[in-house]
Amino acid sequence: MYRNLVILFFLVCLPLLSSAQFKAFRDSIIQISGITMTADSLRAVPAVSILVKGQGRGTISNSVGVFSIVAFKETPCSSAP
């Protein structure tokens, strides 16, 4: 009987816990996309390297300057006084 209750408990609680973890993970990432252009003529610039500082993530813009990358949101660091 005790074993059945434990199994039932895990069958009910595990989906709830994993759903909360997925939501926290989903809320911690962002997608950044854009077009690389020259400052003076606003023409697209192909093959530009785009890096996310401090995360070791990067991508390259395509032949018409379009790029897209997924990055983690930064958590603010607090220093002790």
pLDDT in tens, 23-72: 666 677 888 999 999 999 999 999 999 998 888 889 999 999 999 998 88
Choose among 41, 33, 15: nearest CA to 69: 33
User: Phi and psi (nearest 5°) for 47?
Assistant: 60, 45
**Residue found under tokens 């400052």:** 39
Cα separation, 69 vs 32, in Å, equals: 5
On whether the pTM is more than 0.85, the answer is no
